[in-house]
Amino acid sequence: MTEAATLPTTRDEDWRYADSEFLAAANPQAINHWRTLTVPAGETRARYSEESSGAQCPGSVERYRVHVERGGRFEAFHLVTGGRYVRHEIEVTLEEGAHFEFGGVTLGGDDKVQEFVTRVIHAEPNATSNQVVRAVQWGKSTGNFLGRIEVVRDAQKTDAAQNFRALLLERGASANTKPELEIFADDVKCAHGAAIGALDETAGYYMAARGLPPEVARKLQVQAFIADAFANCSNSDAADRLLEGALLKLDGAVI
Amino acid sequence: MLKIDNLSAEIGGKPILKGLSLFINAGEIHAIMGPNGAGKSTLAYVLGGRPGYEVTGGSVTFMGKDLLELETHERAALGLFLGFQYPVEIPGVSNVQFLREALNAQRGARGEAPLSGGEFLKLAKEKASLLKMDMEMLKRQVNVGFSGGEKKRAEMVQMGILDPVFAVLDETDSGLDIDALRIVGDGINTIMRKPERAVLLITHYQRLLDYVKPDFVHVLADGRIVKTGGPELALRLEEEGYEVVAA
């Protein structure tokens, strides 16, 4: 197990936006531990979570490898509100006709560093994947999304999409994204999009003109912004819980 | 109800309104017409408190209060409704949620109890059917994917639900076909033509005034009101053009 022996640093491409102080002090065994899951052919598995560790927790790294057999579906929806450093990493391998659906939201202030790292391997033909990540940051926090899509040579008719948008509520907050597409098949659809911006002032004014005070208008706008990430969740109760968790965090934040 | 006295305003240092005065009493419908660039939309936005529009002189009193001192959302709670020339799309927020939050924020500001979900839906249904919009449309996201006509109709439904005492409607008639124009005209009449309410219609064309008969028509040119008359003035404008009538 050579991988357990070394500790990543921010010089490693996959860790370039990570919190270097956390990495320096981290336990190599813990940081290099991968959980594994196999989704049997034709079946569906799901993971939903909210990572909301407090400031006293130096950080958390969660990594899991998922293998989705022929025609199976794996969906993962995660909300990250904790910190200082939270990393949520997923590696998914898709067999023929399998699907991976991912929705992630980072929401944070102070000097939190919150990131999603995904690697989706389209190993066989006709598999599909869709990833929607939204980052809402204020204070001096950072939201990251590193998403790699690999389409092997025989994986024709792959349909993979990835979309990242960040909303920076205050000057000083930041977001990083690094889409990577490695495509070795010639009949595939791979789409990716990324945008980083501030709240839409025109919409804010429109809401004010209808009587909404700025804090309510902002909350509504943020809610609309992050709802995209949970829109494709097949379990609407879980999606609602994640959205409520996010709004609760936002209520508690002084923006 | 509304008293605009010698109002001057600029955008980015460029004077647009240059000493505009206008008095509107309860029960009256006023129309402001004028060529492009006269300051019609600027007037609407200054009344609505839009950032970037700087008042450099004069005063505006609304319901006995200094309107220019109030934040945009406070103006709405006081009963001012601004109908947008280009209603804004808000992805991810349904009309129902948006309007319920807006109405309850206004009610809260006025010291009234909020409406429950059921009460609100009943009200929304009633106002929507008045404007021949079905509830399905209200469940959709605010203005997202609406045609020009649908957006203006949605503005009227918003007006019906929010129940203002005074509405400034900025080119509500632009982009409407004949049927939509009649529906919007009916909406304005139904919702706003009451003794305790008033409307300021900003328009380029006479055609909306066929449906909503104004009590007064004003011609705005170069930041001032240069002529005031009755509905016949709008007809003259249509026939002879702004340059002749305003001269």
Domain assignment of residue A218, yes or no: no
Assess whether pLDDT exceeds 90 at residue B245.
no
| Residue B19 Cα to chain centre, angstroms | 21
- Taking 90 as the threshold, does the pLDDT of residue B244 lie above it? no
**Domains along chain B with CATH numbers:** 2-245 (3.40.50.300)
User: H/E element holding A236?
Assistant: helix A236-252
Q: With helix as H, strand as E and coil as C, how does chain B read? A: CEEEEEEEEEECCEEEEEEEEEEECCCCEEEEECCCCCCHHHHHHHHHCCCCEEEEEEEEEECCEEHHHCCHHHHHHCCEEEECCCCCCEEEEEHHHHHHHHHHHHHHHCCCCCCCHHHHHHHHHHHHHHCCCCHHHHHCEECCCCCHHHHHHHHHHHHHHHCCCEEEEECCCCCCCHHHHHHHHHHHHHHHCCCCCEEEEEECCCHHHHHCCCCEEEEEECCEEEEEECHHHHHHHHHHCHHHHHC
Whether residue A47 lies inside any domain: the answer is: yes
Q: Quick one: pLDDT band at residue B21, thresholds 50, 70, 90?
A: very high
Q: Residue A186: which H helix or E strand, with range?
A: none
Confidence at residue B130, expressed as pLDDT on a 0 to 100 scale = 80
Dump pLDDT digits (tens) for B115-157: 999 999 999 999 888 877 778 888 889 999 888 888 888 899 9
Region A130-139: mean pLDDT is 96
Question: How many contacts does A have with B, using Cβ atoms within 8 A?
Answer: 69
Residue B154 CA to residue B181 CA, distance in Å, equals 13
Residues of A with Cβ-Cβ distance to B162 under 8 angstroms = 210-211
How confident is the model over A124-151, as a mean pLDDT?
Answer: 97
The torsion angle over the Cα atoms of residues B141, B145, B151 and B155, rounded to 10 degrees, is: 10
Q: Any chain B CB within 8 A of the CB of A247? A: no
Written as six digits, the tokens of A129 are 């994947």
Q: Which residue has the higher pLDDT, B231 or A97?
A: A97
| CA torsion through residues B200, B31, B64, B4, sign | positive
Q: Is the pLDDT of residue A87 over 70?
A: yes
- The pLDDT of residue A254 is above 70: no
What pLDDT is attached to residue A5?
Answer: 64
Contacts of B106 in chain A (CB under 8 A): 211
Angle of helix B95-109 relative to helix A214-230, nearest 10 degrees, comes to 160
Sequence-separated contacts (24+) of A7-12 with Cβ below 8 Å: A7/A31
Q: Residue B51: is its pLDDT beyond 50?
A: yes
Q: Does position A2 have pLDDT exceeding 60, yes or no? A: no
Residue A236 falls inside a structural domain: no
Angle A107-A113-A116 from CA coordinates, rounded to 5° = 70
Q: How many domains does chain A have?
A: 1
- Show residues of chain B in contact with A213, CB under 8 Å: 71, 73, 105
Residue A88: pLDDT above 50? yes
- Mark yes or no for CB contact A228/B109 under 8 Å: no
A80 assigned to some structural domain: yes
Higher pLDDT, B244 or A30: A30
pLDDT at A56: 72
Q: Is residue A146 part of a domain?
A: yes
Cβ-Cβ contacts under 8 Å, B98 against chain A? 207, 210, 220
- In angstroms, what separates the C-alpha of A167 from chain B's closest C-alpha? 14
| pLDDT number for residue B115 | 94
- pLDDT (average), residues B200-213: 89
- B179 exposure class (CB count in 10 Å sphere: 0-12, 13-18, 19+): exposed
Structural domain contains residue A223: no
CA-based max dimension of chain B = 55
Q: Which domain holds residue A96?
A: 3-198
- CA A74, distance to chain mean position in Å, is 15
Q: Is residue A250 part of a domain?
A: no
